Structure 1
């Protein structure tokens, strides 16, 4: 099968840009008397090849140093001396090339290299600085646009994943069995305990409102997330009654600290679904949030045995892992483990 060779946009721009510049220089020479076609072709070929080589070497250096990821305030102090250095490289390469071409092809040329250099030094250096400034601007504008496109694409993807997480959690919270039991409990409470019945209805309404009308907020404060978790646990307690006990502890949390929406609720839901609900006598869920010097640690523990296939294959856990990766770029992770018949799920978000 015949393979098609594709040329990247970068190389297309390099070839077209320097070819146009070399053609312009060739045209200025052609317009003068005594134009040498062989010399013109050699000048055009070497101009394109040499200047592509110089700028490509700079690009390799800049990519290796990570300059394409720098903001404008950090990039500018690097580009100013870079323009001067590239201008000097352009000066020496161009003077050498033009001088030796004249020695080899121009009859009667007998000037020394020093005199030739002094004569054309300033004009060629200024031209080099101008050309390299244009090239650097185009190069870094290209990388900036690519970075912005990637950021926009990742934000859009993160928004979709967050919405999927909200819908999957809504489905898990209000699946027919859960909703049926909750409504039956509310029905019984209406006669025996109207106050608790009203509270249960409020909890259902809060869960619906948080799941459906939260907008596109991908990050919420820890306080807001814990309120959602408490509502969920209180409603689950209507179904599981004394089989579900829980404790929430948070230490040294800065005010208005944010985290990805539904991340703690996903761990709690997983603990009830695969832990408490599977235990005849129920169990105790421990939720701990600790703000450490190197980041935030969230852990949710419940009695049970770890089933790696079930624990890591759920849609909620998959979404959680992907959201952490997209949001924190490797600075956050999720892990789940078992010790002494207790399963603990942990999220660690490192300080960036």
Structure 2
């Protein structure tokens, strides 16, 4: 009898343990499912927030990209307009003024300035280009003085053609001086170590300049060329007639 009672109590306790374990299992499963659902909702919410943030950033970013692109186009457009304006001045001078035996000194100075600006466009903003004008005359006097057209182009072009633009210490120096009735142009530059591409009729500029000077200013000019490697110096000085 005692054994039967013990077995019955044991069976009840075992069943109670099974029921408790079952309840505990169901509770843990429910908790896990709830956590999974909560995690899924968090991911969904984060995705929505992230998407909303990206959309907001995109709407803010696109106008900035457009504005930056517009500024870039505007910059290039201005540069193109600027260069075309300078080129137009150079072409007008070559086509309509250079056929004359003599032109006003002011016209030649304007041509030289435009020619320099056109060449400046291909240089880095950091390149050492030194431009200096020393003028000791009134504007009306400068306009009254006459000079051979295109007298400045060869020395200036020679400097841009033969300068070593790859070296940080490279430079071009152009000094135009007018004192009384005397005109002087000094051009210096660091010579490139590599030879420029050989072109048809290349190397004739300085030779033609000397021939023109001998004809137009016999005994009234000085042309000095010095190659002090790696620096090349050129100086032209002439007496002008008013």
TM-score when scaled to structure 2? Answer: 0.55
Alignment partner, residue 290 of structure 1? 177
Flag the 1:351–1:195 CA change in 2: closer, same or farther, 3 A. closer
2:86 aligns with one of 203, 211, 214: 203
- Report the Cα distance in structure 2 between the residues aligned to 1:294 and 1:214, rounded to whole angstroms: 21
The structure with the greater share of residues assigned to helix is 1
Deviation at 1:341, TM superposition (A): 4.0
Flag the 1:189–1:266 CA change in 2: closer, same or farther, 3 A. farther
Deviation at 1:248, TM superposition (A): 2.4
1:334 partnered with 2:217: no
Alignment partner, residue 22 of structure 1? none
Which structure is higher in RCO with an 8 Å CA cutoff and minimum separation 6? 2
| RMSD of aligned alpha carbons | 3.3
Larger radius of gyration: 2
1:269 partnered with 2:157: yes
Q: How many residue pairs are counted as aligned between the two chains?
A: 160
1:227 partnered with 2:110: yes
Is the 1:321–1:333 Cα contact (8 Å) retained in structure 2?
no
Is the 1:218–1:261 Cα contact (8 Å) retained in structure 2?
yes
1:194 partnered with 2:77: yes
Deviations, residues 295-339 of structure 1 (Å, cap 9, x unaligned): 433211222379xxx9xx722211110111001122213121144
Flag the 1:225–1:293 CA change in 2: closer, same or farther, 3 A. closer
Flag the 1:239–1:335 CA change in 2: closer, same or farther, 3 A. same
- Report the Cα distance in structure 2 between the residues aligned to 1:200 and 1:282, rounded to whole angstroms: 26
Alignment partner, residue 301 of structure 1? 188
Is the 2:183–2:239 Cα contact (8 Å) retained in structure 1?
yes
Q: Where does the alignment leave 5 or more consecutive residues of structure 2 unmatched?
A: 1-70
The structure with the greater share of residues assigned to strand is 2
Deviations, residues 1-57 of structure 1 (Å, cap 9, x unaligned): xxxxxxxxxxxxxxxxxxxxxxxxxxxxxxxxxxxxxxxxxxxxxxxxxxxxxxxxx
Flag the 1:269–1:292 CA change in 2: closer, same or farther, 3 A. same
TM-score when scaled to structure 1? Answer: 0.39
Deviation at 1:282, TM superposition (A): 7.1
Flag the 1:351–1:212 CA change in 2: closer, same or farther, 3 A. closer
Is the 1:290–1:298 Cα contact (8 Å) retained in structure 2?
yes
Deviation at 1:349, TM superposition (A): 1.4
Alignment partner, residue 345 of structure 1? 234
Flag the 1:189–1:246 CA change in 2: closer, same or farther, 3 A. farther
Deviation at 1:215, TM superposition (A): 5.3
Flag the 1:259–1:285 CA change in 2: closer, same or farther, 3 A. farther
Q: Where does the alignment leave 5 or more consecutive residues of structure 1 unmatched?
A: 1-187
1:260 aligns with one of 148, 155, 180: 148
Flag the 1:350–1:198 CA change in 2: closer, same or farther, 3 A. closer
Deviation at 1:259, TM superposition (A): 1.9
